[in-house]
Amino acid sequence: MEITPGSRFGTFEVLLPVRSLGRETQQHRDDGFPGRLFIVEGIDGSGKSTQLSLLHKWLESKGYGVVFSEWNSSPLVKDTTKFGKKKKMLTAATFSLIHATDFADRTEKSILPLLKAGAVVLCDRYIYTAFARDVARGMDREWVRELYGFAVKPTVAFYFRVPLETAIGRLMDGRDELKYYEAGMDLGLSDDPEESFRLFQGLILKEYEKMISEFGLTVIDATLPIEVQQTQVRQIVKTQLEKAANVRVQR
Amino acid sequence: MRQTYGKLLPGMRISDLTGKLIVIEGTDGVGRSTQINLLKPWLEELGHAVLDTGMARSTLAGEGLKRAKEGNNLGRVTQSLFYATDFIDRLENEIVPALRSGFIVLTDRYVYSLMARAFVRGMDSKWIRSIYSVALKPDATFYLRLSIDQLIPRVVFSRGFDYWESGMDVYPGRDMYDSFCNYQTALMAEFDRLSEEYKFEVIEASADAEQVFEHLKAGIFRALESDSRKEYISARGTKTLSISDLTANEKVAPAAQTANAAKFESVLRSIMAHSADGNGRTAQQQK
Is it the case that residue B229 has pLDDT exceeding 80? Answer: no
Is it the case that residue B254 has pLDDT exceeding 90? Answer: no
pLDDT of amino acid B227: 56
Q: A72-108, pLDDT tens digit by residue?
A: 999 999 999 999 999 999 999 999 999 999 999 999 9
Gap from B10 CA to chain A (nearest CA, Å): 6
Burial A202-222 (b: 16+ CB within 10 A, else e): ebbbebbeebeeebebbebeb
CB atoms within 10 A of CB B91: 25
* Residue of B90, B111, B127, B132 to mutate, interface with A, max A Cβ within 10 Å: B127
pLDDT of amino acid B1: 82
The single-letter code of the amino acid at B271 is I
Is it the case that residue B257 has pLDDT exceeding 50? Answer: no
pLDDT of amino acid A54: 98
Beta bridge partners of A40: A124, A158
Is it the case that residue B258 has pLDDT exceeding 60? Answer: no
pLDDT of amino acid B156: 85
Show the low-confidence residues of chain A (pLDDT under 70): 1-32, 174, 250-251
Answer whether B52's CB lies under 8 Å from B40's CB: yes
pLDDT of amino acid A177: 85
Residues in chain A closer than 8 A to B73 (CB atoms): 76, 109
Q: Please state whether beta strands A12-13 and A8-9 pair in parallel, antiparallel, or not at all (unpaired).
A: antiparallel
What are the structural domains, with CATH classification, of chain B? 20-225 (3.40.50.300), 228-286 (no CATH)
User: CA–CA separation, A71 vs A62, rounded Å?
Assistant: 25
**CATH number for the domain running over A35-243:** 3.40.50.300
Q: What is the pTM of this model?
A: 0.84
Residue pairs spanning A and B at CB distance below 8 A = 121
Per DSSP, the residues of B201-266 read: EEEETTS-HHHHHHHHHHHHHHHHHSGGGHHHHHTTTTSPP-HHHHHHHHHH--TTHHHHHHHHHH
Q: B66-101, pLDDT tens digit by residue?
A: 999 998 789 999 999 999 999 999 999 999 999 999
Gap from B78 CA to chain A (nearest CA, Å): 5
Is it the case that residue B273 has pLDDT exceeding 70? Answer: no
Answer whether A50's CB lies under 8 Å from B161's CB: no
pLDDT of amino acid A174: 66
Per DSSP, the residues of B22-38 read: EEEE-STTSSHHHHHHH
Is it the case that residue B220 has pLDDT exceeding 70? Answer: yes
pLDDT of amino acid B284: 37
pLDDT of amino acid A172: 82
Q: Where are the beta strands (DSSP E) in chain A?
A: 8-9, 12-13, 36-41, 66-70, 120-124, 156-161, 218-221
Q: What is the ipTM of this complex?
A: 0.88
The single-letter code of the amino acid at B185 is T
* pLDDT class of B230 with cuts at 50, 70, 90: very low
Domain boundaries, chain A: 35-243
More confidently predicted of B282 and A79 = A79
User: CA–CA separation, B61 vs B64, rounded Å?
Assistant: 5
pLDDT of amino acid B55: 96
Termini Cα distance of chain A: 37
Q: Average the pLDDT over B131-145 and give the result.
A: 98
Residue/partner pairs of A181-187 with CB below 8 Å, 24 or more apart: A181/A85, A181/A90, A181/A95, A182/A44, A184/A136, A184/A137, A186/A88, A186/A90, A186/A91, A186/A92, A186/A95, A186/A137, A187/A136, A187/A137, A187/A138
Q: B235-252, pLDDT tens digit by residue?
A: 444 444 444 444 443 333
pLDDT of amino acid B266: 52
pLDDT of amino acid B157: 86
Of A91, A109, A137, which is closest to B75 when you measure between CB atoms? Answer: A109
Residues in chain A closer than 8 A to B71 (CB atoms): 76
User: CA–CA separation, A139 vs A143, rounded Å?
Assistant: 7
DSSP character for A224?
Answer: S
* Residue of B67, B124, B129, B133 to mutate, interface with A, max A Cβ within 10 Å: B124
User: CA–CA separation, B66 vs B59, rounded Å?
Assistant: 12
In B, what residues contact A, Cβ < 8 A?
A: 7, 9-11, 59-61, 63-65, 67-68, 71, 73-78, 80-82, 84-85, 88-89, 92-93, 122-128, 130-131, 133-134
CA dihedral of residues A175, A178, A184, A190 (deg, nearest 10): 110
Helices (H), A107-243: 112-116, 127-136, 141-147, 164-172, 193-215, 226-243
Beta bridge partners of A122: A38, A68
